[in-house]
Structure 1
Amino acid sequence: MNTIQPLSRRSFLKGVGVSMALPWLESVPVWGDDKQKNSASEPPVRFACLFSGNGFHSREWWAKGEGKDMQLGKVLDPLLPHRDKVLFLRGLYNQEALIGGIHSCQTGNLLTGAHLSPAGEIKSGVSCDQVVAERMKSQTKVPSLVLGCEPSIAAIHKNYSMIYSSHISWSSPTTPTPLELYPSLAFDRLFRDQVGRADKSVLDAVIEDSNGLRKNISKSDQHRLDEYLSSVREVEQRIDQAGKAGRLQGWRPTLTKPDIPRPADGVPQDIDQHMRLMCDIMVLAFRTDTTRVCTLKLNNDHSSLRFPHLKVDYMIHHLLSHTDGDDWLKVNRFFLQQLAYIADKLDKVQEGERTLLDNSMILYCSSMMTGNHNNDQLPVVMVGRGGGQIKTGRILDYSNKPNRKMCSLYLSMMDKSGVHLDSFGDSKERLAEI
């Protein structure tokens, strides 16, 4: 096997106005020590959090058994193909979210464990994803990718700003990390040096550099590179087509044609298309090592999303969460299908002896257990093995244990990302079992 001299861990395919991070290649130690000469590198651990607001169906968020024999409730059963890589955590909670408010007060400190300021003031803490991003920012092109599928809410609810219900990622105690709602701009941020309307394909811009690289890598790496570039092209083309099919989310207007000028291209009109694009962009971001940290907020707490593709279009998400019926279960499963889709895509990418899913930690959680605002324990599931550091296919029950803080979980996850802190949020203790 021919190998090339070790490249910097921040190696990119270059073109005019474009830089694209390389995927994992066995003959190119992109992520290893720059001094390493002729051995393959160890892929990095990726850290992600997916969030959906308003909790889940009261009778269908459960798990029992272990490994490939694990059984999952109807909300979680989209994860059945990956159950041996699932960690189901029961009984964890966020003490600071019990201070009295609902929705905003249950969401704004979910990843910080900080005390929230009331009366319209904005103050939380730095979230765990941004702590990891800050430590890793010299190693990737983009420190973190913060994606969302629903615009922020500017209002006050129960004496707390609804900015809290719109954000889980915080760059500072007073600054929620801006959500990127536009798939095209998220894509551009990954691959373009200047975010703006593209005048040609990203792949066309780097084709010369990629052809030069092919001459110096193994046959198996050439196959990986071709597969990776094809996946970039697919997402690029889908983004270009987003919204052109004429489908509309929610109600249909009474006019057959708009009576005002058409707005500029932006957010896809259908929530299923929007979420799927964001999932693909997250996978691309991790696959290219453009970033190792991502949060994907599928909706807000107190969400106004509708789901016409599920034929559940008579009630917004927040109100539906109080029904706990079959339609609520449909919506819950739709959200978990996004996690399952990401897991499936990651698990098909081989990185050395492990898959990209094995090299990731994907946390999925909500601000409350059910739509009744109960958050004395939270729905929490993890997928991925953190680079082989996490034993999965298990159920961990903290219901009757003294240490059941969400921030204890974050300390454990940050350890596996190479970020070691004495304390975080309201915890000084890790979850020893993780």
Structure 2
Amino acid sequence: MPSFIIPRGPISRRRVLRGLGATIALPFLNAMSPSTVRAASSAKAPVRMAFIFMPNGVRQDRWTPEGTGADYKLSPILQPLERHRGNMNVLTELGHMNCREGDGHYAKTANWLTGTKIAKTTGKDLRCGVSVDQFYAQQVGHATRFASLELGTEPIHSGVDFNVNYTQLYGSHIAWRTPTSPLPPEINPRFVFDRLFRENADQRRASAMENKSVLDLVLADAKALRSTVGQEDQQKLDEYLESIRSVERRIEADIARVATGENLDPAAKAEIAKLDERISKAMNGVKADPGGRLRLDHTEHSRLMMDLITLSFWSDSTRAASFMFGWAVSGKNFSFLPDVKLGHHESSHHESKEEKLAQYEKINIWHSEQFAYMLDRMKSIKEGEGNLLDNSLVMFGSSLRDGNSHNPKNLPILLAGNGGGIKTGQHHVYGKDTPLCNLFLSMLQAGGVKTDRFGDSTGLLPGLV
């Protein structure tokens, strides 16, 4: 007698777990194959794309690896990624010709994923271009619950930077649905989690007030599905649901830490009383201070957001995502790092002073560590005969080479994952001023998009496919 039952027909890819107030999309299961379990293992998974933005550039003399091709040595800033060198490419000499006009960070951040010029304005008459994540979402978004996800850790800035006469809105957005429609990043992990796994606003509020886990809400449906699939699918389902539970617990733990004042910088302590009052609505997430900032541990906040992207890819809730570690002129306090006393933006304006450069480098290394964490998570998730990273393309980098000079040439760019047949494990050094849009075009074609041009692209990047 077999210990499981194989359903008569395949499970739909759109099958979800449902409960009162909750909907959880499923990971890829063998039972979703139209034929046998063996055939399922070779089923082609979709390509997911994520774009991870690091503000304020890098210490450029500690970024570029030594050597080229597969025989290269990772630089000090990239050392945390050593265990992933076989799953990524370091791409040197890519940049944006259209980002060279206009001073400061804004003229290089808004168009990081578009490759187009931005209209100089101090108001709301924005004009940029369609970003690569949204171009991809427009092609594949119909197949998922959400066309894309836009996440961050810092609130939107809507004032004017009169030093360069640009609206700060340009520094708060990297995703553009149309040339005049930027998509703001969501910075509250609770809201993102609920958006992914709760059905509608009324049900989200009701279940949050009752402090119900989304997994508790769908438990009956999960048990019913589990009884109809094979042992391998049962294991996948258990691992997937446990990952959701883990993220949910961590979000709740952060809410509790904020309520008690733990892990807050001094500026946040004055807000504890207000936050504590709002924490009674715990499932609605941590409330912001008057500046719109979430007073969460920055490392955990960033990792929660990257975990949410990973979960959204694993569940096929979306195939396009972007994440901003900070806005364009982020002054994030990194004093939680040893020997770092300066904010991010201040350290990036190093004036070639070694004391500032050393702190700038430590902040860069921290960003590499967080990216390595995301790759760890994606590689740990089995999908077919490989893992989630094998079926994804994840770009990490900045819109500036160096924060002090605001240089948009030779940008710091990594591409991880083998989605669409991309080859990894290389340091590619291209000709000077090679368009970054050539990378975007290569990624789009790897994702199955039929286009021969994006932004100011001039062709595909050699050596990737």
Instruction: Give the TM-score, by structure 2 length.
Output: 0.86
Counterparts of residues 28-427 of structure 1 (less than 5 Å): 28-29=32-33, 36-38=34-36, 39-40=39-40, 41-65=43-67, 70-120=72-122, 121-157=125-161, 158-195=164-201, 196-197=204-205, 198=208, 199=210, 200-245=212-257, 246-251=261-266, 258=273, 262-263=277-278, 265-266=286-287, 267-311=294-338, 314-323=341-350, 324-372=356-404, 373-387=406-420, 389-400=421-432, 404-427=434-457
- Partners of 2:436 and 2:78 in 1: how far apart? 20
CA contact (8 A) 1:106 1:368 kept: yes
Q: Decide whether aligned partners of structure 1 residues 256 and 395 sit closer, same or farther in structure 2, where only a CA change above 3 A counts.
A: closer
Following superposition, the deviation at residue 262 of structure 1 comes to 4.0
CA contact (8 A) 2:114 2:455 kept: yes
Q: Please give the per-residue CA displacement for 1:10-66, whole angstroms capped at 9, x wherever unaligned.
A: 22112222221111222323xxxxxx3433132211100000111111221022457
Following superposition, the deviation at residue 170 of structure 1 comes to 0.7
Following superposition, the deviation at residue 330 of structure 1 comes to 1.5
Q: Decide whether aligned partners of structure 1 residues 344 and 65 sit closer, same or farther in structure 2, where only a CA change above 3 A counts.
A: farther
Following superposition, the deviation at residue 314 of structure 1 comes to 3.4
Instruction: Give the TM-score, by structure 1 length.
Output: 0.92
Corresponding residue of 2:353: none
CA contact (8 A) 1:247 1:270 kept: no
Q: Decide whether aligned partners of structure 1 residues 244 and 392 sit closer, same or farther in structure 2, where only a CA change above 3 A counts.
A: same
- Partners of 2:338 and 2:255 in 1: how far apart? 19
- Partners of 2:271 and 2:444 in 1: how far apart? 52
Q: Decide whether aligned partners of structure 1 residues 277 and 410 sit closer, same or farther in structure 2, where only a CA change above 3 A counts.
A: same
Q: Decide whether aligned partners of structure 1 residues 147 and 384 sit closer, same or farther in structure 2, where only a CA change above 3 A counts.
A: same
- Give the letter for the 2:266 counterpart: W
> What percentage of aligned pairs have identical amino acids?
37
Following superposition, the deviation at residue 268 of structure 1 comes to 4.5
- Partners of 1:123 and 1:256 in 2: how far apart? 36
Q: Secondary structure at the match of 1:357?
A: helix
CA contact (8 A) 1:70 1:393 kept: no
The RMSD of aligned alpha carbons is: 2.2
- Partners of 1:253 and 1:84 in 2: how far apart? 41
Q: Please give the per-residue CA displacement for 1:326-375, whole angstroms capped at 9, x wherever unaligned.
A: 22121111111111001011111111111111111000010111112111
- Partners of 1:347 and 1:24 in 2: how far apart? 15
Q: Decide whether aligned partners of structure 1 residues 47 and 398 sit closer, same or farther in structure 2, where only a CA change above 3 A counts.
A: same
Following superposition, the deviation at residue 234 of structure 1 comes to 1.0
- Partners of 2:228 and 2:128 in 1: how far apart? 49
The farther-off stretch of 325-334 and 261-270 is 261-270
Q: Decide whether aligned partners of structure 1 residues 75 and 6 sit closer, same or farther in structure 2, where only a CA change above 3 A counts.
A: same
Following superposition, the deviation at residue 376 of structure 1 comes to 1.8
- Give the letter for the 2:183 counterpart: T
Q: Which structure 1 residue ranges, 5 or more long, are not aligned?
A: 30-35
CA contact (8 A) 1:144 1:292 kept: yes
Following superposition, the deviation at residue 313 of structure 1 comes to 6.2
Q: Please give the per-residue CA displacement for 1:67-120, whole angstroms capped at 9, x wherever unaligned.
A: 886421111111101101111100000111001222000111110112200122
Corresponding residue of 1:33: none
Going by fraction, where is helix more abundant, 1 or 2? 2
Following superposition, the deviation at residue 160 of structure 1 comes to 2.0
Following superposition, the deviation at residue 243 of structure 1 comes to 3.8
Q: Please give the per-residue CA displacement for 1:217-255, whole angstroms capped at 9, x wherever unaligned.
A: 221221111111111111111111214222244335787
Q: Decide whether aligned partners of structure 1 residues 259 and 226 sit closer, same or farther in structure 2, where only a CA change above 3 A counts.
A: closer
Q: Secondary structure at the match of 1:234?
A: helix
- Partners of 2:429 and 2:238 in 1: how far apart? 44
Aligned pairs, how many? 425
CA contact (8 A) 1:250 1:307 kept: no
Q: Decide whether aligned partners of structure 1 residues 182 and 259 sit closer, same or farther in structure 2, where only a CA change above 3 A counts.
A: closer
Q: Secondary structure at the match of 1:244?
A: helix
- Give the letter for the 1:171 counterpart: R
Following superposition, the deviation at residue 399 of structure 1 comes to 3.1
Q: Decide whether aligned partners of structure 1 residues 65 and 254 sit closer, same or farther in structure 2, where only a CA change above 3 A counts.
A: closer
CA contact (8 A) 2:12 2:32 kept: no
